[in-house]
Structure 1
């Protein structure tokens, strides 16, 4: 697949951003970055303690994610980032014009069950409600696609690739 700019795989915690992002980057033949790696240690500590991040906490993180996406240039790349609010996506677009979003979407029940099963991640299930409360889905005027997370990771990636090709 030839996609000449960065793709941000977004959604609430537990939607499979890391799994889908990794597979999507592999499928596209581009670099991959884990958005959580761009968080300052203070953000990770807050989330691990069950404290939702404030917008001010997210801004330096969003700037780092946006810089990575911009640096990919025409070579493209895939990065994960919750990008829950339109204002966050606008900030990413400001840093990396042309960035496309793949919004991974699923039911609260499905995502909560996935979060309860995963081990070794700093984000507790207790913060899922705050993530859904903050979530603003992609607007019709935003460059991106929404993909359901039901099915295997390979099926989700196939739907994402198909939708991205139609942009």
Structure 2
């Protein structure tokens, strides 16, 4: 989820930038990556933004289910990189776009059913359209960052105290 939000909020413009961001997020990329992956991830992020912008739980679930059906497979344990056992929710794909889509769709589903269907959204600051995955303790996140929350709080304070 954080990778998806990061890629939406600051889209990579080159394949190398996409690979670097995925590796920084912990993905093991042991297959060739090309320009089609950059395009594929961009298209997937567009579908994911429909999930972010969904107005109701049923719509959000239906959109996530579409992504899951397209990208994921039965879960299985693997130690393909020799760095510890973990679950894969995808077939043995050799496409970064496919791997990222499986990761994002399963991660989104687990986040929403585990934390709440409302815990995905766009920043409440009028001039910001960044997305966030709410991992707060109370489940009431409304801003993509403390910076946006502070800017809005200052704006509200000033508006309340204007002469």
Same fold by TM-score greater than 0.5 = no
TM-score by length of 1: 0.30
Pick the structure with more strand per residue. 1
Q: Which of structures 1 and 2 has the larger relative contact order (alpha carbons within 8 angstroms, sep 6+)?
A: 1
TM-score by length of 2: 0.31
